[in-house]
Amino acid sequence: MNEIRTRQHLETVVRCLPLVLVPLLLAASTFPGEYRVPWIYWVLAMAASLVFALGARWPLPTSLAMSALATPMFRIPAWGLSGLVPFLGAIALVDVVRRTHRTAAVVLATACWAGAVGFGRWSQHDPTLSRASLVLEVSTYVGLPLLLGLYLRGQRQLAANLALRAADAETRRAEAEQRTRLIERGALARELHDLVAHHMASIVLRIGVARHVVAEADPRVRAVLDDVHGTASDALADIRRLLTALRDPALGEVALVDSDAARTEMEAAVERVRAAGFDVTAEIRTGVGGLDAIGRLTLLRLVQESLTNVMKHAQPGVPVLLTIDSVDGGIAVRVRSAAAGRAANPQAGHGIIGMRERAQLAGGRVTAGATGSEWIVDAWLPNGENRA
């Protein structure tokens, strides 16, 4: 917005310049005792500068008026710099060609300017010169503004097209990012349902055991246990039906509740990268028991996605370092690899967006980017008691 306002202010200043420059040109062309600019030339010149300054909103009428004012000025003998004033009409023609796409308007403005130049210059044409020289002169005074206007119009259209394409690309990028976030949220929701189903199954099992242990208890206690057991069983059945509808076969089962299973899966991910030909060093300096179930799932997904990105973008054989450590009441993860072969803007990749979304939902954060010759992914997840 500021750029548009700056451009508008600049155009206004340029439009108003003739109001200052024209009197200076006329005054500079006055030589006492030798030449004095005729008063009619002063009137026509100031009228032309005023029309030019006020005609920004109406390029075609302004061009026609400038051609009409230039015709008598061309016919009046001018001395020195005062002879430049009629050529404000050429600038007005450039403005018409630059701003309008109507062929008829361009043809009309060009014809009027050509007529003004031809008729005005004819009276001052040296009879010893051929008419071809006059035609060449008129063609130059008309052709150059026309070509310049066409060039500026092309540049203006190109800039508009580039801006449109950039806006369209930004819209598509934002939509793709939003879809990625929704997909990641959906995946996390499915994993949450898996975890809830796991806990519900445990509750149902324990209530069933309690019913057998207190078989001789007060009938009212057994009635409460039976009711809780039935409600929990119904809830577990509903969750399992929901999981069946939501399940994405590509995701596989989620049974990563304890820290040992999470560590086993992370080590398996490291081995897959090694098998692909990468020199992977894994330094897991802490356990993940401090994370809750969602934190452990998120940690695993971040490690898996980071290592998958290494296989996608880096060359086999490059060194890869995975470190997991306790930092600031949480778990910090860092994956370092060679940055060669990566896209110019890898942050825009769906994998990075998904990792950030998942980490934010777990109360953590993810940063990714090139540092020198390395590509580094840093993530931090809070322990269960520290998550807001």
How high is the pLDDT of residue 322? Answer: 92
Phi-psi region of 277 (alpha: psi -120 to 50; beta: other; left: phi over 0): left
For 294, other C-beta atoms within 10 Å of its C-beta total: 19
Q: Write the burial class of residue 184 (CB in 10 Å: 0-12 exposed, 13-18 middle, 19+ buried).
A: buried
How high is the pLDDT of residue 377? Answer: 92
What SS3 class is residue 374?
strand
> pLDDT tens string for the chain (388 positions)?
566 677 777 877 888 888 888 888 888 777 766 667 788 888 898 998 899 888 888 989 999 999 999 888 888 877 778 878 888 888 999 989 988 888 899 899 999 988 888 887 766 655 555 566 777 777 888 889 899 989 988 888 898 889 889 888 888 877 877 777 677 666 666 666 666 666 677 777 777 777 777 766 677 777 777 777 777 777 767 666 665 655 555 544 444 456 677 788 888 889 988 888 889 999 888 877 778 777 888 888 888 888 888 888 888 888 999 999 988 888 899 999 886 554 444 444 567 877 888 888 788 899 988 888 888 999 999 887 665 5
Q: Which candidate, 241, 215, 185, places its Cα nearest to that of 358?
A: 185
How high is the pLDDT of residue 188? Answer: 67
How high is the pLDDT of residue 348? Answer: 45
What SS3 class is residue 186?
helix
Buried-state track 367-383, b at ≥16 Cβ within 10 A, e below 16:
ebeeeeeebbbbbbbbb
Strand residues in 223-364 grouped as ranges (E)? 279-284, 319-327, 330-338
How high is the pLDDT of residue 20? Answer: 84
